[in-house]
Chain A
């Protein structure tokens, strides 16, 4: 909504500056988005007297005149009917500027030098040629000479651009904003006479004045679909002539963001901007019959709208129709067949109430959002139809000399309104907290033209009935009235109070604490947290190589995605992490270690998809390039496995690694991580095929975990006393078949050895002298019982036990 400052001031005599007004409005919820000064690119156009006129010697359709600006006399050629001796006109003197970058210079017109140009509105406002039937501007007698057009008319003005929330539809009109400004400033509202007579601003809405003639209009109106159109007011204006609205009216429309068209159309738009009720004008002589229907469109009906588009109407859309068919898409746009044009003699005005939701559905389907539909979709004042049509008829009569019919057609199936709401001071105390007295509330309501009933005492609180004007469709219950009090009172006047009583806050559960700890562990091991989108392309999932039976192969689809690249929900964090690798390889980052936590989604039998929280890890390339002091650190399976092992250890989770994980991992260089008898995650090298398909280069390893599973198992470690004795280390190298997992060798040692504190694999070797098909695993055993230092005898006994067990369990031979 654009509000020209001068127009607003016409309805409320503010003594605030425009900036101050913007500030006040914003702080009352009428949000000002922008304040702009709109200046016409116009200079050198001044008032002047036509002193003398003669017919052009070569062109009998043109006249040559002497025009006096008070500072000089100019010879001017013009064909305009108003270019007559004694008329006061506007002259664009040589070198003057008109909008659109036009400069007026002396030029020869059929052999006569014309020093400048007498101008019409279209030239001043748009820098364009006169429109059909448009005459030059004639100034009232007594206008002094040599006065610039900008001083004679309000052409340059501040425009307040509002960004209104949907509940503020009552501010989709200049008068609506004026009521707000009046309430905030205490300055009285000054509305045009018609609106005052009908009590437009009042608490009960517009009401017929006592002197309104009780005469039915010429046209009949039928409302077969009152759910879509419960009220339709029509009024004929006869004997109109082609004309244009006064320049200041046209300029106001432009400042408010609309294009001036003709006096009749401009009058309807002007009234809409003024009071918020959209209107439409039909060429009455092009309507078939004398009955108007506001009805649902029938199958196969079409209409050519004013913009020249042929539109197919859907069954159920509300149309305005005459005996022949649709003449307008109700509340959206009129049709070409009955368009008001230069030859129009009689006009039928429409002022209706169209239901908000159907209007919105219609304009969305037709992709045709107009100023009218923007108002209907937010509900217009259901009482304003007659006053708006009277105002429009008055303006059309003024601009075109037309004669409005007495009375009007008012088809009204609207349910009676009940707008009285009980208001208790209890709600102020409970909700707002501030000590606002009842007198202040009353004053606020009355400033907004609400009616306030007598104050009663109910229990501990005073109450009163408040009657809200029907244009305030946003106010439905007591709490809405409470908001009115708060916003006019001023949000800045409320104190900031701390929350009482003080209660302990903190994490909701142990899982939440572990989740945050887990992130810290990952950071401490060099991992970089990333955040990727949950919306993927089906191709992203396809690229992972999951077959149909894998639940991850098909994501939950979006019904109406923005694009196919964001059309399914992720089923895994791995595609997103691999995109992070792609991104960083594309900017030549040599390597990285990324991780992410987030939700993944799977189709389910329930109404909503299944959501699970995952942890994804990914390493690629060279994590640290070699330095003068250290070798490089590469992203390898065992580096990532080490991170995973450490993470699980820090979280107190015992896990084992079983060979072979699923796609997109290399089947031979990957492992399932099993803890508490179930698979909690996987770790492995990226499958070379997937790597190739994604265009990735170099080494890349991945892992994922079910966060819910590992958080549920996470536990604080128990303290164990440290032995007072020195630990003893012994090494054993055992040769086994290459296929024997190291883990099973370690397991045998752990199960057999006594007083063992730890066993680690410190070397694996499969070259000669180790026989073909075998490998040697070197283990370091650390003994450290709490009560003694082991003797050599005990150690060798233990070694014998281990050797025997290894031979029996895994066929291991000791290598010396």
Chain B
């Protein structure tokens, strides 16, 4: 973006740009702010603005999570399942994505462009279609994959995000560092462990956190693939919203927003301090 000129900064165009930007931001943030505000209501309903502010719904959520009846509402169970799915998805994406990224960055081989295209595909592929396809696949197999059918689905859409970060970090590594390590007696696996992994750790770490958030928030694929035993938080929220609509749901949503923002801040910090180190 170029700097506004002296006349531009005070001119009508600049005012217009500023106005539109503010409006878009407001449009984006307003619903989220509303959720946040309502979650602090002292009332029983979703009335806006709230009659008074209180923490009673957070207290309620706390009881739902750790109270003696935590098993009934299934909030705790859903949260734990979602965390588990997100962690496993990150792990799968790291294990599959890091070596693949390295191969794509360093080597030329037959089918390289095909792989590159395939990896980008889930980003533009409609999740609903992917969900239906996977559901058909899972039903046809007649097996119970439990948590892993959602992990697999999330990994498919998470992999491009991990690999994009990972490949950017690896492209920043001077190949001569790897060659220097070789001449100093390091075999290929040792070069990877000693040079590539540490220098790409910022990209890998930020990619893994992104995938974690993506999986934790994901709804569409989860909706097709959840079961009675595997009931992710996004599905729990959806069902609550369809049935009870108590302000507690808004408190849970607000907590999710906080977790998301925190994760984004961590990614920013990681990229800022290590992503550019190579």
Asked if chains A and B come from one complex, the reply is no
- A residues lining the B interface (CB < 8 Å): none
